[in-house]
Amino acid sequence: MGNYLDDVSRRNGIRAEREKEKKLDDFRKKLTNGPDMTIDNSVVIFTSLSASDGLRQHYEKRKMKAGDCAPDWIKSLAEKMAGFTSAPVLAGLGALAVAVYIDIISFSPPEESMKNALRSVFADEKASEVWDQIDECLKRCVMHLCDINKLKGDIERIEYLLSAALTKLKNSMVRDGHMSSSALKAWVNGAAFHIQMLIHLVRLGGIRTCNPVETLLSTYQSDLEKLLTEHKKMVWAKCKYKDIYIYLEIRLRFLVDEDSVRHDVEENIPVEKYFEVYYDRRYGRQKVEIQLYFRDVSQNLQKLVDQRGSFNVQ
């Protein structure tokens, strides 16, 4: 008899757990993605090992859209490139800078401008200093495309200022409690850009070894984990749990999320479980994507440094 009752109890327990899992899965399906915190697509594409392909495709797209107006700006671009077809300066950060320059001289619509899209990443008030240095770096990369010594000097100067701005932004989130999804996105993108600046310096001979890049990567990966932890705390603090009795008979339990959307919760499921599902659904994929970006840069560091960009204006 005892074994029978134990078996019934076990089956009931399994059934109850499955029901809880179903409730949480139903809850997950109702949720939408959280605010985007990932690295901007332009940074990912134009600083990757396939940067030259990305630049070529970007150029062809702008040329096709320009139609009859294309010859004028293509001539200007050809003069700026000064006969370059393959060179380290056209890889990584150089490819990104040339892509932004193509947008400018081809009079791309504001909504299609790569620079405008990148600028919007740093729309958070506390990220303005970070954008100022990135904007300046992109400008200098085009200005001194044919003068490697001046370019190295500019990158070294701006890299120092960007590093300080990123430290200030990080401290405002971790130490001063000014964490937000937009601020974290700005830091993530700024850190990715900063790493690419150092890679470009090694590529151009401004730094002799990859050691400084490896150190910076390790530092930023550690900082990222701290910032992601603080971000999760911030989101949890914005969510509110309500447990209300009406006329001593009706009990209402619900979670109000960071967007002030109300979600009913089951009495037999801890609210913490709901939050874990909520955060994972909204930000889990983004978290992994960001971590993978820095890991991939670290694993491909030598290949990125040795990279020669190629681009032919036709």
For residue range 79-132, list pLDDT tens digits in order. Answer: 887 767 788 999 999 999 999 998 888 887 877 788 888 999 998 888 999 999
116 near 135, Cβ under 8 Å? no
Residue 3, pLDDT above cutoff 80: no
Percent of the chain residues topping a pLDDT of 70:
93
User: What CA–CA distance (Å, rounded) separates 44 from 24?
Assistant: 34
The answer to whether residue 145 is domain-embedded is yes
Percent of the chain residues topping a pLDDT of 90:
59
The answer to whether residue 100 is domain-embedded is yes
The answer to whether residue 260 is domain-embedded is no
User: What CA–CA distance (Å, rounded) separates 280 from 211?
Assistant: 35
pTM to 2 decimals?
Answer: 0.91
pLDDT, average across residues 244-265: 81
The answer to whether residue 246 is domain-embedded is no
The answer to whether residue 269 is domain-embedded is no
User: What CA–CA distance (Å, rounded) separates 247 from 255?
Assistant: 21
User: What CA–CA distance (Å, rounded) separates 3 from 64?
Assistant: 77
Give how many domains the chain has, as a whole number: 1
DSSP 312: -
User: What CA–CA distance (Å, rounded) separates 82 from 84?
Assistant: 6
The one-letter amino acid at 288:
V
pLDDT, average across residues 136-149: 92
Residue found under tokens 């797209």? 61
Q: Which helix (H) or strand (E) holds 250?
A: strand 250-256
Give the model confidence (pLDDT) of 274-291 as tens digits.
899 999 999 999 999 999
User: What CA–CA distance (Å, rounded) separates 301 from 47?
Assistant: 11
295 near 44, Cβ under 8 Å? no
Which residue range forms the structural domain that includes residue 150?
Answer: 33-238+298-310
The answer to whether residue 135 is domain-embedded is yes
The answer to whether residue 28 is domain-embedded is no
The two three-digit tokens of residue 292, written as one number: 């993978």
Q: What rounded mean pLDDT belongs to the chain?
A: 89
The answer to whether residue 218 is domain-embedded is yes
